[in-house]
Structure 1
């Protein structure tokens, strides 16, 4: 049976259930508008470790293991761990995985990694390659700043278009049975690059990929914005969200009242001085695993399209004057 529909979308016929989620955030995220939806709010962003990188890996490890406990499962019950992060060689994920007794598939989609891992996990489930699969990702403000921008000690001034990397980690467990939200479609994105080189305007660099994936999802499935209760991009921030709305309207899709960006809603941007909003793998991860999932469980949301977005840059490519390619993957979830 051909499970492909249209050009880029896969119909997940077996409808894998998201039987449990876990979200862990840092103190700043715990002061934002969505604080009541997160499972764990850290008291400090060091997480009892002696480096930010170790803190991020420990946060991800804790999120994964606590998610397994929440589902009343053990590591032996899980067939695959699909995970990734922002750091070089995805060290947050691989260092967390070395302490977890589960076969590991390391993924890198920059900030799109939450829906990338959910897409891969859902297709593995649909192929009947596992009974339970856990997917997840993480990011940390201080580890990302150190790798991609400036050391915190430098005290550099932030541009109005800049975004604040979310300190957070999210995980989901996919299973075959139970009354839980379930995955129906996966739309795998294409890499898009419109020549933006400003690392302080990552939202704009990811907009072409977000628009491309959402547009293709609509074309492939025959759906329209109004068929969803919520469409959420990952971390475009205020600047990127406005551009997506404008560009999709030119294609005839009115997103007003249905569309939000996780990076824009996770912080109170004015009070918390987060510029255009949040970013990082953890941004869409904790909003999806916390705010969105819990609103599906309580019946507020019945059909949601998650579209995590990523900027596929590196410190080396930026130093060589390269532009910033973007990617976005979409997952349709219903309950």
Structure 2
């Protein structure tokens, strides 16, 4: 057997020896997200969900393109300076990401991790930076409420009733630019998740479907690194909503970890659930992307957060698998970001 890399610790975690820095971010959201509790932290709030395009899908792709371009511009760079783009979304064959990548002159890795894609793209971008294969890498993702609804559930015109466990797919896109330069928050650990399936079939209860994956990845991160909840100012899951967040807290407590003092869920804080009638909260690739690129990143720059564990969570379902009566597997990836 070959030698094991000294960068790997435990079963699923890599400790980065040359931690890349997140030097700029951009967060773009729709009107509903901009009207929520975190509105002041987003870089751009759209006036309408169509963003001047002919379809919701084109609007989503335009959001990602704008997020990528603005992120590069903030760093006073050009597209030619960027070595790789890691991006993905929820739509068939990564429609939004592929068409955004078509319009930028950057080598592209397309990813599908469902709603876990922000942490997946950031994790892979960090690994390639740590390996010395790039000087500048962008990690990005997006989602759109209306595009996701008609792909995974019902057309908006159908007017279906939403259950209390249902979540509202976030209309938004986030992008991060990684470099080895500057005094900015940096990535120290990447814990890659495993697919977990506890038999949930209800597409309107994705928080319950994804929670076991979040718990497993957080638990493995603690075991691999020797860390615990007290080592983090914030542990942020991506897209579990109110239902999945409660399940995650309870299951981690069974493992002996009390996370309540540091644990937030991006889907639970992006909307005012009572006023905006978003049921269990937000979801979608754009959920953890815009909350991290907007709210959490700016909190780190202000030194209100010095150490954060981002755990984006994804439900690995498709329209085909749901119609065939399949269960909903979940995945979660964790990335530790520090700034001290």
Question: Shorter-chain-normalised TM-score: which range?
Answer: over 0.9
Deviations along 1:163-207, whole A, 9 cap, x unmatched?
Answer: 000000000000011100000000000000000000000000001
Take 1:59 and 1:224, find their aligned partners in 2: how far apart are those partners? 37
Q: Does 1:238 align with 2:242?
A: yes
Q: Which residue of the partner structure matches residue 269 of structure 1? A: 273
Q: 1:74 is matched with which residue: 52, 75, 78?
A: 78
Q: Which residue of the partner structure matches residue 147 of structure 2? A: 143
Q: 1:16 is matched with which residue: 17, 20, 37?
A: 20
TM-score by structure 1 length? 1.00
Q: 2:193 is matched with which residue: 189, 195, 203?
A: 189
Take 2:336 and 2:300, find their aligned partners in 1: how far apart are those partners? 13
Take 1:88 and 1:82, find their aligned partners in 2: how far apart are those partners? 17
Deviations along 1:145-168, whole A, 9 cap, x unmatched?
Answer: 010000000000000000000000
- Partner-residue secondary structure (3-state), 2:198: coil
TM-score by structure 2 length? 0.98
- Partner-residue secondary structure (3-state), 2:320: helix
Take 1:63 and 1:287, find their aligned partners in 2: how far apart are those partners? 14
Take 1:28 and 1:331, find their aligned partners in 2: how far apart are those partners? 28
**Aligned structure 1 segments of 4 or more residues deviating by more than 2 angstroms:** none
Q: Which residue of the partner structure matches residue 44 of structure 1? A: 48
Q: Does 1:251 align with 2:255?
A: yes
- Partner-residue secondary structure (3-state), 2:23: strand
- The number of equivalent residue pairs is 335
Take 1:327 and 1:150, find their aligned partners in 2: how far apart are those partners? 24
Q: Which residue of the partner structure matches residue 178 of structure 2? A: 174
After TM superposition, list the pairs within 5 Å mapping 1:28-39 onto structure 2: 28-39=32-43
Q: Does 1:63 align with 2:63?
A: no
- Partner-residue secondary structure (3-state), 2:115: coil
Q: CA deviation at 1:256?
A: 1.0
- Partner-residue secondary structure (3-state), 1:270: helix
* RMSD of Structure 2 on Structure 1 (CA): 0.5
Q: 2:114 is matched with which residue: 110, 113, 137?
A: 110
Q: Does 1:95 align with 2:90?
A: no
Q: 1:119 is matched with which residue: 123, 128, 140?
A: 123
Unaligned runs of 5+ in 2: none
Take 1:177 and 1:112, find their aligned partners in 2: how far apart are those partners? 27
Q: Which residue of the partner structure matches residue 281 of structure 1? A: 285
Q: Which residue of the partner structure matches residue 58 of structure 2? A: 54
Q: CA deviation at 1:13?
A: 1.0
Q: Which residue of the partner structure matches residue 309 of structure 2? A: 305
Q: CA deviation at 1:82?
A: 0.3
Unaligned runs of 5+ in 1: none
Q: Does 1:320 align with 2:324?
A: yes
Deviations along 1:233-277, whole A, 9 cap, x unmatched?
Answer: 000000000010000001110001100000000000111000000
